[in-house]
Amino acid sequence: MRIGVFFCSFIFVSMKIKEIISFLESWAPPSYQESYDNSGLICGDKNWDFKGLLCTLDCLEQTIEEAIEKDCNLIVAHHPIVFKGLKKINGKNYVERVVIKAIKNDIAIFAIHTNLDNVHNGVNSKIADRIGLQNQKVLIPKKTLLRKLEVYCPTEEADKVRTALFELGAGDFTNYSHCSFNLHGQGTFMPNDKASPHIGEKNVLHKGEEIKVELVFPAHLTSPIMHKLNEVHPYEEVAYQLLQMENEYQFVGSGMIGMLENEMTISSFFDLLKSQMNVSVIRHTKTVKEQVRKIALMGGSGSFGLAAAKAQGADVYLSADFKYHEFFDADNQIVIADIGHYESEAFTIELLSDRLKEKFPNFVVLLTEINTNPVNYY
């Protein structure tokens, strides 16, 4: 299988590596990665001039050699080559050899791993699209990723403040935007001699009509939103509260669940998987469901998502890396379909390619010849 992307710039286009990284991180924010992960710039300098990009599932020595051959100085990999801390870098294993080879040849390596798994239009949505799932929803939504801003504004200034924050993504929820709650009331304050009040007089109690504006937004937007708030708000000192929300963020999290367009037999579904995911072998539990339609899935190692799939009434749970005893956890309630780690994520390359071509239309996207799957079948 051809599993990478060669990304070659036209000569007359000048760009820094950080511009590509900025786009990728706006799509899959680093804060969405799991605590154990190591997504981000592994080695290299984001301020280097961009020459070419090689996109792959895994970064191996052959990957570095291919990047050199194709004059690429940026590799975007789904799996981080450095997952745990390196105490020495002397080439004793493939991880250290890859890092050494990349550094010697001025090649930057960027990983976009569980943060890309966790966005609603990321790895799991790509799998769901390939097998034709409709009404897709995140299987295990994350918590503590939302913030609520409560800010008090003079009535006549509230529209300006709201609009400025809307433009940065505050109040956006997939199919809805410009969401806010507004409560009218009366505010009071007394400026002292050192104040420079926008309205009111020094040492005089001021009473005025105000609006309390409430907006919810993803936590990773906190810094730009607070900067913009202080920039556009008329008061010398902005009165606000910033709250961490415990609500589940329905569009960020692990896995995906959805419905096939029509019910089908389990054998027909397995045939669909083989065709659409390009697999020849499916490890599965007893086919306790003769007809299936509701499908839950998770790319990569997803055994931890089985309980959620069962709780939500899925007929099949599609994932990878199930251990022997974990198959028993299906407990005759669901069919586990393990298609392999590499196989479940192989089309991540296509996902990255499509988004990069859409964002940077002046660059050519080509596929690599390297297959990085370490598992072989006889």
Tens digits of residue pLDDT in 122-153: 999 999 999 999 999 999 999 999 999 999 99
Sign of the Cα pseudo-torsion (319, 324, 325, 331, in order): positive
Segment 297-320, tens digit of pLDDT: 999 999 999 999 999 999 999 999
SS3 assignment, position 261: strand
Half-sphere exposure of 363 (CA within 13 A, CB side): 25
Residue 13: its pLDDT value, please? 59
What's the CA gap between 93 and 90, in Å, rounded?
Answer: 8
Q: What is the pLDDT of residue 79?
A: 97
Asked if 180 contacts 150 with a C-beta cutoff of 8 angstroms, the reply is no
280: which DSSP letter?
S
Look up tokens 């900025």; give the residue. Answer: 22
Tokens of 341: 């780690």
Beta strands in the chain (DSSP E): 5-9, 40-43, 52-56, 74-77, 108-111, 133-143, 146-154, 181-189, 206-218, 240-245, 248-265, 283-284, 291-301, 316-320, 335-338, 363-366
pLDDT digits (tens, 9 = 90+) for 218-228: 999 999 999 99
Give pLDDT, residue 367.
64
Tens of pLDDT along the chain (378 residues)? 444 444 444 445 588 999 999 999 999 999 999 999 999 999 999 999 999 899 899 999 999 999 999 999 999 999 999 998 888 999 999 999 999 999 999 999 999 999 999 999 999 999 999 999 999 999 999 999 999 999 999 999 999 999 999 999 999 977 899 999 999 999 898 989 888 888 888 899 989 899 999 999 999 999 999 999 999 999 988 999 999 999 999 999 999 999 999 999 999 999 999 999 999 999 999 999 999 999 999 999 999 999 999 999 999 999 999 999 999 999 999 999 999 999 999 999 999 988 988 998 887 556 677 999 999 998
Q: What is the pTM of this model?
A: 0.89
